[in-house]
Amino acid sequence: MITLLMACLAMLPPPAKQEPLVVPHRGLLGHAPENTLANFRACLELGMGFEFDVQRSKDGALVCIHDDTLDRTTNGKGRVADMPLASIRELDAGAWFNTRFKGEKVPTVEEVLSLVGAHRHKGVLVAVDLKAAQVEAEVAAMAVKAGALKKLVFIGRAISEPAVRANIMKQCPKAACAALANTPADFDAALTAADASWVYFRFIPTPGLMERVHKAGRKGFIAGVTVAGVEPANWKAAAAAGIDGLLTDHPLEFHETLRPSRPKP
């Protein structure tokens, strides 16, 4: 399935101009089990990054799983924070999606970052959603060790908690953090937020706002209901405004929308 997707995407014509870096939400949600290495490998082979989530196990390990419980995406039950890493790793995180993915494990954050580091030559963006508290400095240190830091933007708790951004930057001054602009009224504060080099939009910015972002030496990232679903008009508007990164549940449709139609034979 994933091999076919790779072949199909490769057949698409190149974009007419530079388009935003698409960030598949939890990976290719419709094609592979979310937040698994199989999924993330496919994203990277397709020339895309991904978004992944960080939780902490009972014994302090950092794992990649969206929910704070194991119930939805594994064959286990209970809270992630109540189970040690060894027990989490015994669970199956793939068969619920399709039996072809049976045996996929809940990856550690270190494994995910190592995978990103191995593909650091690619022009992709990976968004790190810090779900758990007090994990940010540890994740930043892991990213440096894996050679993955330049591919990352820190979101989750980082977008709304200045202390989280400060902890990341203290650990690694070259890290990229985003600050939240829920509405246009929040834009100025997000643009000037300390320790942030990205503005995290939950609305479609105008070209004028994105011009201000770029003049300030920052970048723009958009997520939320305006772009998460199949939203061709919103995708095009965000791209036309000059957004740098876009988080969506439908990355393949996004690519198809922004590329010109293939010429007829």
Concerning whether 250 is annotated as a catalytic residue, the answer is no
Catalytic residue from among 66, 119, 250, 255: 66
Spatial neighbors of 227 by CB under 8 A, at least 6 apart, are 204, 234, 235, 238, 246, 247, 248
- Amino acid residing at 220: G
Phi, psi of 129 (to 5 degrees): -90, 105
Concerning whether 66 is annotated as a catalytic residue, the answer is yes
3-state secondary structure of 226: helix
Could you tell me which of 256, 203, 260 has the C-alpha nearest to residue 230?
256
Catalytic residue from among 25, 31, 250, 255: 25
Task: Using the Cα atoms of residue 205, residue 208, residue 211 and residue 213 in order, give the sign of their dihedral.
Answer: negative
Between strands 62-63 and 50-56, the pairing is antiparallel
Show which residues are catalytic. 25, 66
